[in-house]
Structure 1
Amino acid sequence: MRCLLIDDDIPTVEALRDIMDWSEYGITQLMTAHNIQDAKALFDAEVPDLVICDIEMPRGSGIDMIKWVRENGYDCAFIFFTCHESFDFASTAISYNADSYLIKPLDKQRLEPVLYKAIESLKRKRTLGEYSKLGLTWLKNKDLVEKSFWRDVLTATISPRMDLIQGEIRKRDLSLSVDGKYILFLAVVAKSEIEGEWEDSTFHYALCNLSSEVLFGGPNHDRVIPYQADDRFYVAIVLDGGIVMDKLKSEGERLIRLCKQFLKCVVTCYIGEEAAITEIAQTKTELEKRDALNIIFRGNIHFQKDRLQYDTKDRYSLDTELFTTLFVQKEKVQIVNRLKKELETLALQNKLDPMTFHSIREDFLQVVYAFLTRNNIQAHRLFAEDIAQRMYQKSENSVFDFMKWAHFITEKTIETLKEALQSEGVVEKVKRFIQENYNRDLTRDDVASNVYLTPDYLAKAFKNETGMTIKEYLNEHRIKMAKGMLIGSNASISLIATETGFDNLSYFSTVFKKLTGETPNSYRAKHQSVT
């Protein structure tokens, strides 16, 4: 698929291009334009499947662009963004079948679901369009049409109004009753369950077919709808009402056993109340919320009307003093094992509700940050990398994800402290960093962040070890490199000053003479004549 990004602000286009992994959405070609005239020209060469466009531009608005696209018969999806909320803009965009309307600044978290929804909607439209062209839609692909219908109902793509749903049933020529009752069965597996064991799409396909076999006696049933969200795999199954709940529970228990046996994962199943077709989307939302609150009752069957029973009479508090002591003693194994034991005990006692789980995570993080601060290590830099951020975000999903995150930050905290306490190792690392980056505009903060230490602490350690300040060492190395360039090249003094990291010639000359006793010109004349 091809995607076209349009904005007159070049940095916005570049940022938008870089924040997403476009290949994850099936986008293999990314085009950019900075006005609608250039964008129209790109359509002549290759028609994009998706357009992401600013509304307010000086040489033609985004509304002008979508109007031109629709008038010329292109069916590409459209996502708009702008600096200001405007009902007029939004309503006009919607009238031209725009998919979404976002307010700047754009970020990955807000763009991801919108992008996914637009691409899935485009795929569905094109799939139905192809069937229509071939004249086989209703004969050979009824299952796919019905599956698409139920997906649209569950996601509220079809508004939950009886007349609109009835209209879609007629339009798609489906044999469904809008007056009947339906039961939603939701199977859920955390993505962390299959990490390293399965490729995501393969696992989801297997889970979907196994669910279809158990509930309907065959694979790929038209009422079995797979989807993903929030690091979870979901399979939504729409059943006709009137089913005996004990029988449905028995089938759910069988699905849990088979998933454990063949897919090597823990699946949790939720069974909704009988509901009208207009209420199914809301039932799906409620079951998803129930799953989000389910920390310790996974691998079981849960009915919509049942409450997750936690014992919260006596609130639990993490023994932060104990964990602080273990960090001081650098007892990595004991920290992780003690934390795991605490969680397991709370789970066995039904006391590990979402609020308790969250407070344990925050208390543990407070211990880590306080410990690092006392040791002059900058925690926010230490855990700034993507993997740390992703693990932190997932750590409230399950005890398993929490322990992965806790093990990671414990290991990194203690190992960083050990390195920091080895003064010689830190100083050597700083020297190497300076030698590799001397030609940049380096500050003391830049150097300190490279070893996760506070600038003051690093300055003291470096001075004690070398007898020099960081600035003095940096200048000494720069002058050393400048000497070689003065002798070995005919580059101008000004150029040499710039290439060795000095921002002006005067300061370079001053430092050079201070350290060598000669001006750069005198040094070059003296040593080049010798060679």
Structure 2
Amino acid sequence: MDGVLIVDDEIHAAHGIETGIDWARLGVTQVYVAYNIRQAKEIYTSQAVSLMICDIEMPQGNGIDLLTWVKEHYPATVSLFLTCHADFEYAKKALQLGSLDYLLKPVRYTELEAVLQKAIQKIESDSEAVKFTETLKHYYQLWSAHHPLLVERFWLDLIHQTVSSHPEQISELIYKRNIPYLPDDQFVPILIAVRGWSKGLSEREKKIMEYALRNAAEHSFHLDGLEGGCVVPISERNLVALLPRDHALLVSTAYLEAELMSYVRSCDEYFYCELSCYIGEATDIVDIHKAVQSLIEKDRNNVTNARKVYRLDEIFELQDHIQQPNISSWLELLKQGSKTSLQEDIHHYLEDMKQTEGSAKMLQEFYHNFLQMVYHVLQLKGLQAHLIFSERLSTQQMASVTRTVSNLQEWSKEVVELAVDFIQSIEESHTVINQVKAYISENMDKDISRDDIAANVFLSPDYLSRIFKKETGTSLFDYLIEERFKLAQSLLIQSDKSVSEIATSIGYTNFSHFSKMFKRVTDMNPLEFRKKHRK
């Protein structure tokens, strides 16, 4: 324990207590002595004091005054009085201030030690209680900090059905996690769906904006406390706000829709985010999964409109069957390279789909039929689709493209633009042949293959070989061999490089194979060729 302070204006009495008590046996390591209140206060400000033994009548103020000051500034200190004054009023006041005991001088050391032992036990007991309270407070703070996460996890488990929806098991889950709801409470789910971004954002910026959307929703819907509901992120672009049935926003449908519309407009203005909100119906906790899924399905089939608020009872007039696009006509336009006409036809068709409230299923069908047409034409032209559209045909891109009609319009226009440009480029064969020849010349020192050359001009190897033969009268392989050994012959005549260095410079790492090929082309080995032509 901390030190003991003896306060007595009688010097002999103070030192008698200091030296007469076996402090070590009591577990006390520091004993301080003061002869008046001023000295006592100075010791308090510089030393840790757990126990004070104090006289009452002293100069500069009495012990009652000192004890009053100690209780105000050092309330954990245990005090007891040792005095010559058997005054009832003094004793009463001392006990009222929390003095542990009131002893009269002279006192036997054994009696004083017994009281001191009791005081030390109280100090240790109070210390343990304080430690326990502090520990309890610490863990409560940790629990309070993580409790919102437990509530969020509770809703996610229900929505994603990772726990049973049986009422008894939900009641048990609420009890175990100390969720601030009753099993029969009802909530109104509101789906907040991100339809797109009106400004180009990086993935990191989108994550920041999604976090901002959640905070803004909690503030706008007055969901700052768990008992008043919460906002839960259920997927990358979907949030669900869960409002208790008696929430202030639910006073009327018109009021709720107006508040949600204000939120949608604010997010569009400040977060560059196009939102749609879908209002569900009051639902028991056990059925929350079904309620949320119905809202998600509603959003999935909303492929035309954003920046709006919908009620669950507003049914989209979805058209699963509208007039199919004239793919045959589009196919011919693409073959002919009629870019503008094809883009206009596709745009008008998708505009009609907007007016008829097309479904997500229709967008996906259009997507696949459109790609089938493009692939067919590319195959006829000898182009490799994956080399042209590698960034536009990913699974993630497909999900984004078929999300809305507007996305599909923009994407299909880009694909047509890219496809027609490549088709027109390969139809100018001499340009492709020149590119091939330049590529071979620049990479003479590498072991390039027909596939490498074809990939450089975005053509299939077979198709490139056909047009190269048609334009030059020689095969691509023979041309590559011919160009390599033209260079080798020139280096043998005009330079002092060794034969192995020359072989490496035209892409041959095997010297023996180079010599055989050189003799096949020139009817002599490299050294013979150099000797003859240098003479």
TM-score, normalised relative to structure 1: 0.64
Report the Cα distance in structure 1 between the residues aligned to 2:157 and 2:530, rounded to whole angstroms.
77
Q: Which residue of 2 aligns with 1:322?
A: 329
Mapping 1:75-90, distance limit 5 Å: none
Q: Which residue of 2 aligns with 1:240?
A: 244
Q: Which residue of 2 aligns with 1:290?
A: 298
Report the Cα distance in structure 2 between the residues aligned to 1:388 and 1:162, rounded to whole angstroms.
45
Report the Cα distance in structure 1 between the residues aligned to 2:406 and 2:422, rounded to whole angstroms.
24
State the shift of 1:391 in Å. 3.3
* Structure 1 residues 275 and 258, CA gap change in structure 2 (3 angstroms): same
State the shift of 1:219 in Å. 9.9
State the shift of 1:194 in Å. 4.5
Q: Which residue of 1 aligns with 2:151?
A: 146
Q: 1:295-350, CA deviations, whole angstroms, 9 ceiling, x for partnerless residues?
A: 124333334455321245x6311122432343345343343333222212221133
State the shift of 1:485 in Å. 7.3
Report the Cα distance in structure 2 between the residues aligned to 1:364 and 1:447, rounded to whole angstroms.
30
Helix, strand or coil for the counterpart of 2:274? coil
* Structure 1 residues 469 and 132, CA gap change in structure 2 (3 angstroms): farther
* Structure 1 residues 373 and 139, CA gap change in structure 2 (3 angstroms): closer
* Structure 1 residues 505 and 245, CA gap change in structure 2 (3 angstroms): farther
Task: Write the letter of the residue equivalent to 1:463.
Answer: K
State the shift of 1:472 in Å. 1.3
Q: Which residue of 1 aligns with 2:265?
A: 257
State the shift of 1:261 in Å. 3.6
Q: Which residue of 1 aligns with 2:27?
A: none
Report the Cα distance in structure 1 between the residues aligned to 2:169 and 2:137, rounded to whole angstroms.
21
Q: Which residue of 2 aligns with 1:369?
A: 375
Q: Which residue of 2 aligns with 1:41?
A: none
Report the Cα distance in structure 2 between the residues aligned to 1:428 and 1:501, rounded to whole angstroms.
21
Task: Write the letter of the residue equivalent to 1:299.
Answer: R
Q: Which residue of 2 aligns with 1:177?
A: 182
Helix, strand or coil for the counterpart of 2:273? coil
Q: 1:385-431, CA deviations, whole angstroms, 9 ceiling, x for partnerless residues?
A: 23443534432111232123212211111111121122222112212
Report the Cα distance in structure 1 between the residues aligned to 2:443 and 2:234, rounded to whole angstroms.
47
* Structure 1 residues 227 and 477, CA gap change in structure 2 (3 angstroms): farther
Report the Cα distance in structure 1 between the residues aligned to 2:388 and 2:449, rounded to whole angstroms.
19
> How many residue pairs end up in the alignment?
391
Q: Which residue of 2 aligns with 1:400?
A: 406
Structure 1 residue 346 corresponds to structure 2 residue 353: yes
State the shift of 1:210 in Å. 2.4
Q: Which residue of 2 aligns with 1:59?
A: none
Report the Cα distance in structure 1 between the residues aligned to 2:294 and 2:167, rounded to whole angstroms.
20
Q: 1:232-275, CA deviations, whole angstroms, 9 ceiling, x for partnerless residues?
A: x1111111135456143343333333333433432111223332
Q: Which has the larger radius of gyration?
A: 2
Q: Check the 8 A contact 2:195/2:306 in 1, yes or no.
A: no
Report the Cα distance in structure 1 between the residues aligned to 2:207 and 2:378, rounded to whole angstroms.
40
* Structure 1 residues 521 and 393, CA gap change in structure 2 (3 angstroms): farther
Structure 1 residue 459 corresponds to structure 2 residue 438: no
Q: Which residue of 2 aligns with 1:102?
A: none
Q: Which residue of 2 aligns with 1:187?
A: 192
Helix, strand or coil for the counterpart of 1:258? helix
Q: Which residue of 1 aligns with 2:210?
A: 204
* Structure 1 residues 506 and 325, CA gap change in structure 2 (3 angstroms): same
Report the Cα distance in structure 2 between the residues aligned to 1:463 and 1:277, rounded to whole angstroms.
73
Q: Check the 8 A contact 2:354/2:405 in 1, yes or no.
A: no
- Give the one of 526, 532, 535 matched to 1:520: 526
* Structure 1 residues 354 and 173, CA gap change in structure 2 (3 angstroms): closer
Task: Write the letter of the residue equivalent to 2:160.
Answer: T
* Structure 1 residues 391 and 151, CA gap change in structure 2 (3 angstroms): closer
Report the Cα distance in structure 1 between the residues aligned to 2:216 and 2:341, rounded to whole angstroms.
41
Q: 1:146-176, CA deviations, whole angstroms, 9 ceiling, x for partnerless residues?
A: 3344344433444434444434433333322
Mapping 1:423-438, distance limit 5 Å: 423-438=429-444
Q: Which residue of 2 aligns with 1:477?
A: 483
Structure 1 residue 336 corresponds to structure 2 residue 343: yes
- Give the one of 300, 306, 310 matched to 2:308: 300
Q: Which residue of 2 aligns with 1:43?
A: none
Report the Cα distance in structure 1 between the residues aligned to 2:368 and 2:144, rounded to whole angstroms.
57
Q: Check the 8 A contact 1:192/1:401 in 2, yes or no.
A: no
* Structure 1 residues 227 and 353, CA gap change in structure 2 (3 angstroms): closer
Q: Which residue of 2 aligns with 1:213?
A: 219
Q: Which residue of 2 aligns with 1:160?
A: 165
Structure 1 residues without counterparts, runs of 5 or longer: 1-130
Identify the range of structure 1 (516-525 vs 203-212) with the bigger mean alpha-carbon deviation. Answer: 516-525
Q: 1:348-404, CA deviations, whole angstroms, 9 ceiling, x for partnerless residues?
A: 133x22333233323322332233233332334433x23443534432111232123
Task: Write the letter of the residue equivalent to 1:235.
Answer: L
Q: Which residue of 1 aligns with 2:40?
A: none
Structure 2 residues without counterparts, runs of 5 or longer: 1-135
Helix, strand or coil for the counterpart of 1:176? coil
Helix, strand or coil for the counterpart of 2:262? helix
Report the Cα distance in structure 1 between the residues aligned to 2:472 and 2:333, rounded to whole angstroms.
33
Report the Cα distance in structure 2 between the residues aligned to 1:516 and 1:429, rounded to whole angstroms.
28
Where has structure 1 moved over 6 Å in runs of 4 or more? 219-222
Task: Write the letter of the residue equivalent to 2:412.
Answer: A
CA RMSD in angstroms comes to: 3.5
TM-score, normalised relative to structure 2: 0.63
State the shift of 1:142 in Å. 4.3
Report the Cα distance in structure 1 between the residues aligned to 2:305 and 2:241, rounded to whole angstroms.
21
Q: Check the 8 A contact 2:444/2:505 in 1, yes or no.
A: no
Q: Which residue of 2 aligns with 1:448?
A: 454
Q: Check the 8 A contact 1:184/1:284 in 2, yes or no.
A: yes
Report the Cα distance in structure 1 between the residues aligned to 2:316 and 2:449, rounded to whole angstroms.
54
